[in-house]
Chain A
Amino acid sequence: MRFKSDQKLLSLVAIVVSALLFAYAMKFEGFKGISTLLKNSFILDVNYSTNNLPDTSIVLVNIAFQEQDSMKRAIEILSEYRPKVIGIDISNFNEMSSCLILIS
């Protein structure tokens, strides 16, 4: 059983048009749900939503906008209790992204 050439062409055009329409439709706000479902991020989101247990090996210390003298004193106090490692994120003091890491 063979296709006629015009049928082949019609099928090809239909496939291409469908693919383009599908890709275009995914850009609309109303189709965001479908496009999210198609992505790996959907599975990751479901995983994150069930991942509620905290990592007890990590302690966060809020340095907020304190001066660096206070921070220095805090590092000295914390190091007395022999933590594995102290990481400092001071990127909030200006736009530059950086941090320093100390180890005890």
Chain B
Amino acid sequence: MSNFDFLDFVLPFEEHRTENLGQFHQSNITYGHVNFSGGYEIEKFDSYNKKQIPHFSIELLGFLDRPAYGKILDDPSESFIPNYRRNFSVLELELYEVLDKYFVESRVNAKVIIMGHLGYSILMDPSQKNCIDTHETPVGLMFGSEILATAFSTLNGNFIHRYRSLNILLVFLNTVLLFMIINKTLTWRPILYFLFIQVLILCIWMGYSYIAYIILTKFSYLIDYESLIISTLVLGELSCFYKLGLSANTHTSLSTKP
């Protein structure tokens, strides 16, 4: 076991939990937090005793790719979006398979191994399946270790990028485009204009959804779809109220003419 190399970051409260690991405990051990509150983002850091502890997946990446590790730590965002996939359990080994060496070498050699609770083993009570260390995720219930594997996989080449400054630009461009369309159509009859704006909002909504999906799947960039849709809705409906007021004003002016 002399080929093991450890970093020197140990949390005091963990010592009693690792002392049975014998010679591993003698070495320095690296810890990462595994807290998961569910949902679409994973916090990069968690604090303990005024120390900022990076996420498990980030620490894991630190062993494999130091430049990528540094880049993630330097990034100002506080969280990242895990790129969930549904079939992690395809590459799963039971502990008895490992202890009996009942696996092909190529399954383990040069791979990233994550050991954790993934349901009961054949020796345990089947009723305990799926009740411990499971969390709700966008792809259903997942074990904590599967979420950690997902987080690591995300950082290791499947990262979902998100530029908030780009979103501001997109909202601005969207507003300019809408103003141009509204300016051209504002002279239409009120009922026609109202229907046109509703259809336009629906088309923009669907169009942006499709474009955002393509950009996410092809280029791994997440467009802030939410702000674009809300800005379109607000602007579109505001223009309808404006048109309503405009037509009411015209009607009043005409009716008061001698």
Q: In the complex, what residues of B have CB within 8 A of residue A72's CB? A: 20-22, 24
Also in contact, A38 and B91, with CB within 8 A (given A60-B116, A89-B115, A97-B33): no
Q: Are the CB atoms of B112 and A91 closer together than 8 Å?
A: no
- Encoded as 1 (CB less than 8 Å from any B CB) or 0, chain A from 46 to 81 comes to 111111111111111111111111111111111101
Q: In the complex, what residues of A have CB within 8 A of residue B217's CB? A: 47, 50
Q: Are the CB atoms of B245 and A82 closer together than 8 Å?
A: no
Closest to B250 in A: A1
Q: Name A61's contact: one of B17, B29, B113 (CB within 8 Å).
A: B113
Distance in angstroms from B40 CB to nearest chain A CB is 5
Q: In the complex, what residues of A have CB within 8 A of residue B234's CB? A: 19
Q: Are the CB atoms of A60 and B4 closer together than 8 Å?
A: no
Interface size class of A (residues with CB under 8 A): 35 or more
Determine whether B14 belongs to the interface, using a CB cutoff of 8 Å to chain A: yes
Q: Are the CB atoms of B110 and A84 closer together than 8 Å?
A: yes
- Encoded as 1 (CB less than 8 Å from any A CB) or 0, chain B from 81 to 96 comes to 1011111111111110
Determine whether A28 belongs to the interface, using a CB cutoff of 8 Å to chain B: no
Also in contact, A63 and B117, with CB within 8 A (given A76-B1, A99-B31): yes
Q: Are the CB atoms of A99 and B229 closer together than 8 Å?
A: no
Extra contacts besides A58-B91, A85-B63, A85-B113 (14): CB < 8 Å: A44-B40, A47-B83, A53-B85, A54-B87, A54-B88, A58-B152, A59-B93, A62-B94, A70-B99, A76-B1, A78-B108, A85-B112, A89-B144, A101-B56
Can you list 5 A-B contacts with CB-CB less than 8 angstroms, sorted by A residue number?
Answer: A11-B241, A45-B138, A66-B95, A83-B108, A97-B46
